[in-house]
Structure 1
Amino acid sequence: MELHVVIEGKKDLTGQLYRQIKEAIHAGRLAAGEQLPPSRLLAEQLGLSRKTVSEAYARLTYDRLVVGQVGVGSFVSDQPSRRAQAAHAPALAGAAVAAQWRNMPTPLRHPSPAGTARYEYIGGSPDRSLYPQADWRRCVLYALRECAKSRGMYGETEGLFALRESIARHVAFSRGVRCSLGDVVVTSGAQQALDLVARVLVEPGCTVAVEDPGYPPARLLLAAQGANVVGISVDSEGMVVEQIPDGTRLIYTTPAHQFPLGMPMSIARRHALLARARALGAIVIEDDYDSEFRYEGRPTDSLQSMDTHGSVAYVGTFSKTLSPELRLGYLIAPPAILEAVCVAKHLTDWHTSIPAQWALAKFMSDGGLLKHIRRCHTAYADRRERIVQRFQGDLSPWFELVPATAGFHLAALCKQAIDMKLLLTLARRVDVGLYPLDVFYHFAPPRQGLILGYGAIDAADIDTSLNRVRDILQEIA
């Protein structure tokens, strides 16, 4: 790669080269440790004499901007860059809008690896040790071979035919979803699916309803689109449908495994929600984020499978079953918004990564996904059972688990007053990562408790970590 330098005229050639490299270092375009081109090569590229380049390098070295290593080359010295700022920058016309985005909270951002504890109860993280590395590697090689056959053009906005076909079969088999591949839109994670539905339905001032407590990124995304977001309470049967106000055009819900509390929506409540949506002409977003993992009772149908009027947009993700790093999800769009969603996706990112789609299509068609889900289910069931036993045993004086039959997190509500901030701080000091429940409340008064993800903690570590939590609770009590 050539170093970007522009030489004008024939005067002060050394000075021009020196100043441009110096400015590039200060602005951060040349990072610390980056090697500069050899003087002979740069001279040829710029049409200068080697002496001119050598003199510029010498001045940079004298100023300690560049360090020379005999027999190796010249390198940018290890010093902080000073990004150039205009002395009198004009007022930004869109400063207020930019400030709104800059100040918007970003909940559920996972910590960096350096910030995680030895014993992690973070939610939404599948077990990396269970990831099918060998099978996935084989599918990635297949994807590369398929991509090599293509003409290198953009792909279909809706997603690869093979992947959409596999997704349609999978959700029909596992969740009873009624769809064909033509209803499937492959997205960059579930979050993009939510964004696409919001883009084609939400306009400033319109009313949308979300569960409270609920999934903060969904609420914030809808608010960022200018919607009047209304919080709807949840009880033991799920979203309280009677609270959905007139004029609502979009309803967001997690019926299989309410986020974050975990209870499933009752059949009666599901019918009531569908009837309310029909009466309002509203679309219901069914976020079915981790329902593949079920531990008790008979499986319930998806809300979409009960919908006979095209009111439900079904959102799924592979972040919980495989890995959030893949950024692969999907939307089963009802006919009323399918074409609009495809246009919106085309305008925002054209299409999701083609190699990743080929790999996932191969993985699913070979039966790898169902095999992996069964393997994870066995591991998660053991962890869940151990956590339930502990919270029904020696941790029961402080917490009560919310009954949940699916997913891979549990919610524990406080039975007595606990200094939650102190508990989390002391737990972190003994290498236990705990996470509070109250951050998921926005409209209603928050309830104190914990959200206990068991995807990132090994079964053998549960007793050790919860012993530490119990000891802290006894101390601060």
Structure 2
Amino acid sequence: MDHPLAFPLDIPVRGRLQALHGQLRAAILDGRLRTGQTLPSTRALATSLNVSRNTVVAAYDLLLSEGYVVSRQGAGYVVAHAGPTQAGAPPPSAGGEMRLQPRWRDAIAPAPMTALPPSRYDLRVGMPDVSRFPFEAWRKLSARALRTLTRAMSVYDAVEGREALREAIAGHVSFARAVTCSAANVMVTGGAQQAFDLLARILVTPGHTVVAVEDPGYPPLRATFEAAGARVTPVPIDEEGLIVERTPPDARVIYVTPSHQFPSGMVMSPARRVALLDFARQQGAVIIEDDYDGEFRYGGRPLDALQTLDRDGSVFYVGTFSKSLFPTLRQGYVVAPSWAMAALGAVRQLVDRHSDLLAQDTLAWFITEGHLARHVRKMRRIYAERRDALLEGLSRHAGEALRPLASDAGLHIAAELRWPVDASRLVRDAAMKDMRIEALGDYAIGEHKPNGLVFGLGGIPATRMDEATRLLARLLHEHLPR
């Protein structure tokens, strides 16, 4: 039969899935497959290539999980994100480019989150609701900051960040999270991700430094330290957080999310916090405390941050405004021990020197004039309503299949699957029904991956949580083995 694509595919006898996936991905990246283009049906492509249909289905599912295609009911698989690269550029070679560092030779260009079309039930993690943000107040403050900034645009600013913003951040974390610091201990960064990158550069000796991370945990942090040459070791968690006694004794960096474990959601117990700080002191290790959505707490008194309890200068406290304000702001910070500030500044000067000055000045006024605190209070009420509605819907419609994990904070909820259902397959089929959820096991790197789901609270209002959980319940029954 005629080839259903406008370009040939070379599928070897062995490694067919990898070859098909790699060549389709390359065709998307270099523009031979365009955004919005419908891929051939799995049956037609399998027949033309003389491969099994399961191979084509698996290749399409990989592209779906990477964000290069979306699955639309009645239309099949549609390209969500495509190149093209510069005119005349050869397609990426399957073996990677030898001029690159080995780690990056087979790197996959990430698809932007905006490439995914809107879904009716968007329960993705890490997506705050920006529709309630006071953009008019932000616009006025930005205009004021621009007028002020024009007086001093001919020189570079301090690598640590604008003094006014550092003072505002120090006051904010002191009030909201009881973090003890001054502006001298604050470095403004391009989101939490740049804070992790800077810390990896000053803390890792390539090939030697052991970094302990929660498992399941935050993948970008792991990737950042692996890229810096660290030996990343997963440490299991339980209902009290990181199991400190399972931490390798030679670990010199320990990454934790004690206020709202990512992605499971539990809060690290007081006993574990003390044990972790004792471990760091005895082993000469440092702790990176990621408080990515600690402002949103729905019950009980928040436990003190590790940084608050630290008496040995062991904790680097990392925060971000991506969850409390909006992701494209790209403003975060690290509260560092005094002994590390000079090293952070020296590295920051090599990386990008400093963050955007206009955004820094606007944010400083936004905090000091009370807009941040008011917005967080408002959104805390909204997210609490959504959380309650989601938990009620899960209990009513899917209580036999799902057990929500204990969590009193944050912008997402995790749930353990009680039924023998494959979470990854469920996630893919949910996408076909215009629902975006995530598999808990996708965040794990150890041998035992939890089988569960993670639900974000930023994508749909409380009034639609019931219909979303009813749809999820139907999908769960469809996936239950007969």
Question: Normalising TM by the smaller chain, what interval?
Answer: 0.7 to 0.9
Q: What TM-score, normalized by structure 2, do the two folds share?
A: 0.78
The letter of the residue matching 2:162 is: L
TM-aligned CA distance change 1:110 to 1:455, over 3 Å = farther
User: 1:172, CA displacement in angstroms?
Assistant: 0.3
2:398 maps to 1:395: yes
What secondary structure does 1:226 align onto?
coil
1:225 aligns with 2:228: yes
Which residue does 1:351 correspond to in 2? 354
Equivalent residue pairs, number: 394
| 1:263 alignment partner AA | M
Q: CA deviation at 1:391?
A: 2.0
1:173 matched residue in structure 2: 175
> 1:161 is matched with which residue?
163
Deviation for aligned residue 1:105: 6.5
Cα deviation digits, residues 301-337 of structure 1 (max 9, x gap): 1110000110000000000000110100000011221
**Matched ranges for 1:396-411 at <5 A:** 396-411=399-414
The equivalent of 1:74 in structure 2 is none
Cα distance in structure 1, aligned partners of 2:109 and 2:200: 18
For the Cα contact (< 8 Å) 1:409–1:453, is it kept in 2?
A: yes
- The aligned counterpart of 1:94 is 99
Distance 1:279 1:81, change over 3 A: closer
The Cα of 1:82 is off from its aligned counterpart by: 3.5
SS at match of 2:131: helix
Secondary structure of residue in 2 paired with 1:393: helix
Instruction: After TM superposition, list the pairs within 5 Å mapping 1:286-297 onto structure 2.
Output: 286-297=289-300
> Which sits farther off after the overlay, 243-252 or 375-384?
243-252
Aligned-residue offset at 1:405: 1.0
Q: Distance in 1 between matches of 2:196 and 2:386?
A: 31
The letter for the 1-side match of 2:249 is D
Give the 5 Å matches for 1:165-244: 165-205=167-207, 206-244=209-247
Distance (Å, rounded) in 1 between the aligned partners of 2:115 and 2:385: 25
Pick from 403, 409, 416 the counterpart of residue 419 of structure 2: 416
Q: One-letter code of the match for 2:366?
A: F
Residues 128 and 456, structure 1, Cα contact 8 Å, conserved in 2 = no
Give 1:85 shift. Answer: 6.2
CA RMSD, Structure 1 to Structure 2 (Å): 2.2
Contact 2:426–2:475 (CA under 8 A) maintained in structure 1: yes
Identity among equivalent positions (%) equals: 42
| Corresponding residue SS for 2:143 | helix
Q: Is the 8 A contact 2:393 2:470 kept in 1?
A: no
Contact 1:143-1:359 at 8 Å conserved across structures: yes
Distance 2:108 2:179 in 1: 34
Contact (CA 8 Å) 1:315, 1:330: kept in 2 or not?
yes
Match of 2:139 in 1: 137
Amino acid at match of 1:275: D
Question: TM-score w.r.t. structure 1 length?
Answer: 0.79
Residue number in structure 1 paired with 2:462 = 459
Structure 1 unaligned segments of length 5 or more: list them: 1-27, 29-78
C-alpha contact (below 8 Å) 2:422/2:451 kept by paired residues:
no
Structure 2 counterpart of 1:48: none
Task: State the 1:443 CA deviation.
Answer: 1.7
Q: Deviations over 1:68-97 (max 9, x none)?
A: xxxxxxxxxxx99742669xxxx96634x2
Shift of 1:106: 7.9
- Name the aligned partner's letter for residue 83 of structure 1: G
- Contact 1:158-1:184 at 8 Å conserved across structures: yes
Do the aligned partners of 1:116 and 1:433 also contact (CA within 8 Å) in 2? no
Distance of aligned partners of 1:440 and 1:152 in 2 relative to their CA distance in 1, 3 Å threshold: same
Evaluate the alpha carbon distance shift between residue 243 and residue 110 of structure 1 in structure 2; reply closer, same or farther with a 3 A threshold: farther
**CA 1:81–1:457 in 2, change beyond 3 Å: closer, same or farther?**
same
Kept in 2: contact 1:400–1:413 (CA 8 A): yes
In 1, are the aligned partners of 2:397 and 2:469 still within 8 Å (CA)? no
Gaps of 5+ in 2: 1-30, 32-83
CA distance in 1, matches of 2:219, 2:103: 16
- SS of the residue corresponding to residue 381 of structure 2 reads helix
Measured against aligned partners, the alpha-carbon deviations of 1:132-152 in whole angstroms (never above 9, x if no partner) come to 111111111111111112142
Tell me which residue corresponds to 1:115.
117
For 1:437, the equivalent position in structure 2 comes to: 440
Query: Which range moves more in the overlay, 185-194 or 416-425?
Result: 416-425
**CA spacing shift, 1:125–1:85, aligned 2, 3 Å:** closer
* Residue identity opposite 1:192 in structure 2: Q
Q: Which runs of 4+ in 1 moved over 4 A?
A: 104-107
* Cα 1:80–1:238 shift into 2, 3 Å: closer
What is the DSSP-based 3-state SS (H/G/I as helix, E as strand, rest coil) of the residue aligned with 2:229?
Answer: coil
Inter-partner Cα distance in structure 2 for 1:418 and 1:278: 43
In structure 1, the partner of 2:323 is 320
Report the secondary structure of 2:233's partner residue.
Answer: strand
* Equivalent of 1:299 in 277, 298, 302: 302
Tell me how far 1:223 sits from its aligned partner.
0.8
SS of structure 2 residue aligned to 1:417 = coil
CA deviations over 1:346-397 (Å, ceiling 9, x no partner): 1101000000001000101110000000110010000000111122222111
Cα contact 2:297–2:409 (8 A) shared by 1: yes
Partner SS for 1:164: helix
Partner SS state of residue 197, structure 1 = helix
